[in-house]
Amino acid sequence: MILKRYIPIAIVAIFGSLTLSAWFIDNETIETFANDDATQFFDIIAAFAVFLGALNLLKLQFIKFIKKQKGWQYSAISIISFFFAFTIGFFIRGAYFVEDKVFFTEEAALESLITVDISKGQQEPSYKVQENSFKDISDAKNFAIKQNLITPVDWGAHVQKNGSLFQWMFKYIFSPLSATMFALLAFFVASASFRAFRARNFEASLLLLAGIIIMIGRVPAGGLISSWMVMYLIVLVSGLYIHYLKKKNNVTIIFTLAGFILVTIAGMITGWPLDKPSIFYLPLLQEWIYLVPNAAGSTAILMGIGLGIVVTSLRYIFGLEKSYLGE
């Protein structure tokens, strides 16, 4: 009980209070702890969490594979991919430099240094490394190694070095797969918007309208749509709405015609500027939606999140929140 419950609560309470107090108390020791030591603790724990995550992933995939659960084939691919990346990351340097050129294996790097010389009258070929000639290829290789003509990349840097095997794996396997998965989103968004994005009530209609304005206004094509065209469209849609409400053709026709005439006269007077009146110009309208109603709503949400974080942090410090103990 003490070990599993009270000690973890005490650790959280002490460290939580210390890091919190660093914002309020002007003390160098506490500030150093909060700014340097605590963040390094976090980095170390985060690094270990990667191992924990990897083990958990393997455990789940192995269970799925062994028990032949639905989709076990994908688990097999996951496990193979994991060990493939693991091997390349931990056991293979994958980058050997010969001047500016980089090779995945030391053997390939050696071969690039050696030229085979078959001169006339010579029964067996000789192997040249720089200006030195060898009868045996292994001697040529040993010479190249002894002369440090090949520079292997440092361990650790090998996963980040340009041209390394790990980078090759990332560039030509992981990147296309990842990009493909994300690109599929466009298709699902299109399909979902066709089926589910409905103007069922006022709020949904408002969301729909704002969504359409932002989607069109954000892209260059939206800039080509004149504000006058939008105004004509508004008159047309309003006419349809009036028809839906009144069910009288005369009223609809008079309203729509009057609207069209008004818009046309206004356009002729002002000379049909593309972006005037700016309230009907989609790029400016979408910018306004982003900067005014959206910013107001997002700020409120952010403040709510902030207050929520404060309350949750205090609950952790006071030992009221114990979900991290599995309770």
Partner 1 sequence: MMIRKLENLIIKVGDVDRRVIFVLIGLAVLIPLLTPVSLPIRETPTTVKFYEGIEEIPKGSKVLVSFDYGPSTRPEIHPMNVAVLRHMLRNEHKVYISCLWPDGIYMALDALEDISDEFSLKEYEDYVLLGYRPGAEAVIKGLASDLRKVYTVDANGKFIDDIEMMDNVKNLNDFAYIYSGSAGYPGTFEWVKYGGDPTGVRMSSGTTSVQVNEVIPYVRSGQLIGLLAGMPGAAEYEKLVESPGIAIKGMAAQSFAHIVIVVFIIFGNIAFFLKQKKERKYSK
Q: How far is Cα 145 from Cα 2, in angstroms, rounded to an integer?
A: 60
- 273-279 contacts: CB < 8 A, separation 24 or more? 273/227, 274/226, 274/227, 275/227, 276/227, 277/227, 278/227, 279/227
Size of the site for partner 1 (CB under 8 A): 59
Q: Identify whether the C-beta of residue 107 lies closer than 8 Å to the C-beta of residue 100.
A: no
Closer Cβ to partner 1, 76 or 98, answer by number: 98
Closer Cβ to partner 1, 190 or 310, answer by number: 190
Q: Any bridge partners for residue 114, and if so which?
A: 129
Binding mask 231-250 for partner 1 (x = CB under 8 A): --------------------
Output the smallest distance, CB 269 to partner 1, in A.
25
Closer Cβ to partner 1, 192 or 254, answer by number: 192
With residue 180 as reference, give the H or E element that holds it: helix 175-196
Output the smallest distance, CB 285 to partner 1, in A.
12
Q: How far is Cα 76 from Cα 88, in angstroms, rounded to an integer?
A: 18
The two tokens of residue 259 are: 């609207």
- Using the rule CB under 8 A, give the single segment among 43-51, 67-75, 108-116, 136-144 that binds partner 1: 43-51
Pairing of strands 151-152, 114-117: unpaired
Query: Residue 273's Cα: distance from chain center in Å?
Result: 40
- Using the rule CB under 8 A, give the single segment among 59-67, 140-148, 258-266, 287-295 that binds partner 1: 287-295
Closer Cβ to partner 1, 42 or 272, answer by number: 42
Closer Cβ to partner 1, 43 or 136, answer by number: 43
Q: With 0-12 CB in 10 A as exposed, 13-18 as middle and 19+ as buried, what is 145? A: middle
- The verdict on 56 binding partner 1 (CB under 8 A) reads no
- The verdict on 69 binding partner 1 (CB under 8 A) reads no
Binding mask 166-195 for partner 1 (x = CB under 8 A): -x--xx--xxx-xx-xx---xx-xxx-xxx
Q: With 0-12 CB in 10 A as exposed, 13-18 as middle and 19+ as buried, what is 70? A: exposed
Binding mask 207-236 for partner 1 (x = CB under 8 A): -x--xx--xx-xxxxxxx------------
Output the smallest distance, CB 184 to partner 1, in A.
9
Q: Is the dihedral of CA 86, 87, 91, 96 positive or negative?
A: negative
Quick check: helix, strand or coil at residue 115? strand
Output the smallest distance, CB 254 to partner 1, in A.
21
| Of the candidate residues 99, 117, 136, 154, the single one contacting partner 1 (CB under 8 A) | 154
- The verdict on 299 binding partner 1 (CB under 8 A) reads yes
Q: Identify whether the C-beta of residue 70 lies closer than 8 Å to the C-beta of residue 148.
A: no
The two tokens of residue 105 are: 């294996």
Residues that bind partner 1 (CB under 8 A): 35-36, 38-40, 42-43, 46-47, 50, 154, 156-157, 160-162, 167, 170-171, 174-176, 178-179, 181-182, 186-187, 189-191, 193-195, 197-199, 208, 211-212, 215-216, 218-224, 283, 287, 290-291, 294-295, 298-299, 301-302
